[in-house]
Amino acid sequence: MLPMPMVALLDIFPVEIIEAVLSALVEDDNNLEALKACSLTCHALLSHCRKHIFGTITIRPPFSTGFICASPIRLFGQLIRNSPEIATYVRHLRLGLQIEDFSYEELPDVLGQLTQLRGLFIWFCSGYTVLDWKHMPVRFWPIRSSLLRLLLSPTVTSLKLHNIVNFPISTLMQSTSLKELHIEKLTIEDEHDMSSPLPLTPVQLKTLDIGLRANKVALRMLKMHHINGSSVFDLESLKKLHMSIEVSGDMADTVLLCGLASNLSDIHLKVLNGVKLSKLSTIIGPSVKYLELAIWVYSHKRDPFSGICEELTGNNGLETLSLCLRIDTDAEYDIGDEWGHLDRVLVQPVRSALKHFSLKVVLYSYGQSNKMLLERIKGLPQTHFSSIASKCSVRFTFLVEEIMHPSVHDFV
């Protein structure tokens, strides 16, 4: 019996079923090898597969290997020129730029064909330098203009800017379609004409992600008003806030930012350098149901939880608490009583709203596995979290991961 032609298969099964199968392949195969194989089976499947294969395009400069290789951004341009229909499948573009990419004269035409873009990530990655958006050489202006047109597209709802200085705030004020904004190592242009014609419709963000060295910029942006006194950003719509806490002043900025948004439901904090989360309790308002903390632990002499035990003793409506501790220290790390203290805090009567507590511990080892510490960490649910682990009303999930790094001697 001959195999059934694929065209007949598409006639038998609804398109929704085929899409569900292809989506499952995407989830199980990060490299999309199975999906690429499906796209070659017959022409009828090609468009369905291309939607996933080209849905997200990441362009990053090649690592310096000593060999001359083609520029990724030029290869992408060549792909679009040879198969212009592919541009309609691109939904998310992650564009890593180097200074030499601005000499690619055909880039504005290539970017102009991305008419269905929903997410745009622009980051400048030329060593330790940053991209000065305002003071670009004149020969770079066509590409700068094409990038501005792209991010102002009404289809773009997610924008990420990284490693850029003097970015025009007026551009963000015009991006009224934005729902997600991610900024890191960004400064905005100091001089802007607030009297220039700009849409008075506020930007209604649902998610704001503030990375390293961007807190002050975010505060300035969120406090801005149009010439008629209306707010540029409608903070009533903001539901999710991501912040990076690198120095003690960052926590104070976080408190201010949370005070501007009264309807936050999800707060995600990345904590570095052992910064204590002072006044964390003040940002967990009645609307906050989800709190996620990713804490980097570099010393066994400091509280691994950055003081959250004291901050969680009061009453709040948290339903989910997710902790990820990344322990990057030596073999002498000691699991102290702070772990047990957190267990006692979480089972207090005022934590009655808590439904899920997640704890993930990532241990970084160098040269060889730290087996003794790893075994102690794996035993935490029995030795230090027995109360929360046995509480029927709370789902407790626990995960341990060890990441091996080569020792210094491996490079000698």
Task: For the chain, give the mean pLDDT.
Answer: 86
Instruction: Supply the pLDDT for residue 273.
Output: 87
Is the predicted pLDDT of residue 178 greater than 90, yes or no?
yes
Where does residue 38 rank: exposed (0-12), middle (13-18), buried (19+ CB within 10 A)? buried
Q: What is the pLDDT of residues 318-367, one digit of tens each?
A: 999 999 999 886 656 677 788 999 999 999 988 889 999 999 999 988 77
pLDDT of 301 higher than 90: no
Spatial CA neighbour of 150 closest among 111, 177, 102: 111
Residues 6 or more apart whose CB falls under 8 angstroms from that of 195 comprise: 227
Rounded mean pLDDT, 370-399:
92
Q: Look at 71 and 95; give whichever has higher pLDDT.
A: 95
Question: Which pLDDT score, from 0 to 100, does residue 69 have?
Answer: 63
DSSP string, 222-284: HT-B-TTS-BSB-GGG--EEEEEE-SHHHHHHHHHHHHH-TT--EEEEEE-TT---TTHHHH-
SS3 141: helix
**Helix, strand or coil, per DSSP, at residue 382:** helix
Q: What is the CA radius of gyration of the chain?
A: 25
Q: List phi, psi (to 5°) of 117.
A: -70, 135
Angle at 186 between CA 143 and CA 101, to 5 degrees: 25
Q: Tell me what pLDDT residue 265 has.
A: 97
What confidence category does residue 63 fall into, taking pLDDT thresholds of 50, 70 and 90? low
CATH, range 54-62+69-189: 3.80.10
Domain locations along the chain: 1-53, 54-62+69-189, 289-412
Model confidence at 308, pLDDT cuts 50, 70, 90, reads very high
Lowest-confidence pick of 50-64, 138-152, 315-329: 50-64
Rounded to an integer, the average pLDDT of 147-158 is: 95
Per residue in 154-170, pLDDT (tens digit) is 999 999 999 999 999 88
DSSP-derived secondary structure letter, 126 = S
Indicate if the pLDDT at residue 98 is higher than 80. yes
The whole-number pLDDT of residue 411 equals 31
Cα 281 from Cα 314, distance rounded (Å)? 7
| Distance between CA atoms of residues 314 and 348, nearest Å | 10
Give the pLDDT score at 36. Answer: 84
Per-residue pLDDT, 404 = 84
Q: Which residue shows structure tokens 């309790």?
A: 281
Lowest-confidence pick of 27-36, 98-107, 359-368, 383-392 = 27-36
The label of the residue with tokens 């060999």 reads: 67
pLDDT at 127 over 70: no
Instruction: Tell me how far CA of residue 79 lies from CA of 57, 69, 147, 154, 216, in angstroms.
Output: 12, 16, 19, 25, 40
pLDDT at 1 over 60: no
Report pLDDT digits (tens) over 398-409.
Answer: 999 998 875 443
- Higher per-residue pLDDT: 200 or 359: 359
Is residue 170 classed as helix, strand or coil in its secondary structure?
helix
